[in-house]
Structure 1
Amino acid sequence: MEPDFSKNNGLLSVILQDTATKQVLMNGFMNEEAFEKTKADQVAWFYSRSKERLWKKGETSGNTQEVISMKLDCDQDALLLEVKPQGPTCHTGTKSCFGDDYFSLQALERTVQEKMQNPEEGSYTKYLIDKGTDKILKKCGEEMTEVIIAAKNKDKQELTDETSDLLYHLLVMLNNEGISLQDVENKLEERHGKKQEYSIRDEIQKW
C-alpha cells in the first residue's frame, strides 16, 4: 500500500508513537521527499509548513527518532511511525508533546531500566540489584505468596496492591536477566498466532 500524496496539499499527517511504551509522542507532517528520506535514513523526517522546508526530528537537539515500523491508515493519507526516541521528543524537554502524565507497564520498565543503568543512592531498585539475583528472586517469591493469600482471602484491594508489587519485582528480575517486557509480549503474540512484524528494515522495499 502506497501513501496518497494527492490529498492535503501533498502532505501526510504523521503520528509518532514510542514502540516500547506505546505513548503518543507528537504529530507532524511529511511530504513525499520527507517520506523517502525517512525510509532511507530510518529516522523521522518532516516537512515544516511554517518554514517551508524539510527538517529531521532532533537535528539540533540530537534527540532523533529511530523508526522501527511504518503503518498507513485505511485512506492512505495518515501515517503511524513506531519509533525508538533518542531522548525527549518535545522541544520543552518532555518525552511527549502531549505531556508526560502517562503510565504503562512499558513506562515502568523504562524507569526500572534507567535506575539500573544510572543507580541512585537510596533507590530500592539499586538495593535489589546490589543484593543480586538471589535477593530479587526471594522478593518475587514473597510477592507471589502474598498475591495468593490475597486472592484466597477474596480481598480485592489487597490483591491489587500485591499484584502491583509482584509486577514491579518481576520487571526487575526480567531486566536483571537481560529479558525485556517486549520479549515476553513477542512470545505471547507467537503463541496466540497474532505476531505481525512490520519493520521498516524488512518492509522498506514494499513501499
Structure 2
Amino acid sequence: MTINFSKYTDGLVPAIIQDVDTCKVLMLGFMNEAAFRKTNEEGKVTFFSRTKNRLWTKGEESGNFLLVKKILLDCDADSLLIQVQPVGPTCHTGADTCWNEKNLQGGFLTYLENIIEQRRSGDEEKSYVKKLFSKGINKIAQKVGEEAVEVVIEAKDDNDELFLNESADLLFHYLILLNAKGYRLNDVVNILKERHAQ
C-alpha cells in the first residue's frame, strides 16, 4: 500500500474510521507515516493529533480502542478507510460516534432482542412476550411453527402485504425462541459467517 503522504503540506492524510460490522462511520482523524506504521504494527488505530502535536492511539486513556480489521486506500492514494471493531464508545463525549449517532450491532433487530429480554424479565403482566414465556418453551416453539406455516401459505398467494406481515411475525417469534434457548441472533449469524468462509 503506497500512500501519498506528500500530497498535503502537513504530511497528513484523512483516515475515515468505520465499524466493520455495522458500516457506521465512527470518526475522522489524520495520519502521518509514523501513525500509519504504528497502526499496522499494533492493530490499534493511531492518529497524529494536531492539537497534541504527537502520535495518539485512540483509547490510550479511556481504553476505548479501535481494533483494526481492514485498511483500504482510496483511488487517489491520499485517503484511508479503516474498518475497525470498536471497544466501547468512540467519541470523547461518550457517544458511539463523533456525530452522536447510535452504533447498534445488528441495528433494529438487536434493539428488538433487547426489548424481548426486558419484557421477559419485567413485571408487566399484560406483556404478550411475558405471557408467552410463562407458557414455556413448547408453546414458544409451537408458535414459531405456526408462524412459519402462515408464511408458507401467504408465499403461495399474491398478497404481498400479508406475506410481509406474516414474515415479520415469524421473525419476531423466532427471536423469542432464541432468547428462550439462551441465544441471540448474532450466534446464528456467526455460524453463517463460518460456513461462508469455508
| Structure 1 pair 53–168 and aligned structure 2 pair: CA distance change class (3 A) | farther
Q: Pick one of 144, 150, 156 that aligns with 1:146.
A: 150
Identify the residue that residue 42 of structure 2 maps to in structure 1: 41
1:34-82 C-alpha deviation (Å, 9 max, x unpaired): 1111111111111122332221112222211111111111222111111
Partner residue, 1:161 = 165
**Cα pair 1:88 1:94 within 8 Å, conserved:** yes
Shift in alpha-carbon separation, 1:103–1:151, aligned structure 2, 3 A = farther
Q: Find the residue that maps to 2:121 and give its secondary structure.
A: coil
Q: Relative to 1, partners in 2 of residues 1:179 and 1:160: Cα closer, same or farther, differing over 3 Å?
A: same
CA distance in 2, matches of 1:53, 1:130: 58
Q: Distance in 2 between matches of 1:99 and 1:146?
A: 41
* Residues 1:25 and 2:26 are matched in the alignment: yes
Identity %: 41
Q: Is residue 2:184 matched to residue 1:181?
A: no
Count of paired positions: 189
Q: How far apart, CA to CA, are the structure 2 residues paired with 1:73 and 1:129?
A: 51
* Match runs of 1:34-73 below 5 Å: 34-73=35-74
Distance 2:36 2:129 in 1: 41
Q: Distance in 2 between matches of 1:53 and 1:189?
A: 40
Residue 84 of structure 1: how far off its partner (Å): 1.0
Q: Determine the C-alpha separation between the residues in 1 that align with 2:193 and 2:121.
A: 32
SS at match of 2:28: strand
Worse overlay, 160-169 or 16-25:
160-169
Cα displacement string for residues 96-153 of structure 1 (whole angstroms, at most 9, x for unaligned residues)? 223336778x224554777899997239889989998766654443332232233344
- 8 Å Cα contact 2:120/2:133 also seen in 1: no
Coordinate RMSD, CA, aligned: 3.7
- How far apart are 1:187 and its partner, in Å? 3.9
Q: Which has the higher contact order (CA 8 A, sep 6+)?
A: 1
Greater radius of gyration (CA): 2
User: Which runs of 5 or more structure 1 residues have no equivalent in the other structure?
Assistant: 191-207
TM-score w.r.t. structure 2 length? 0.72
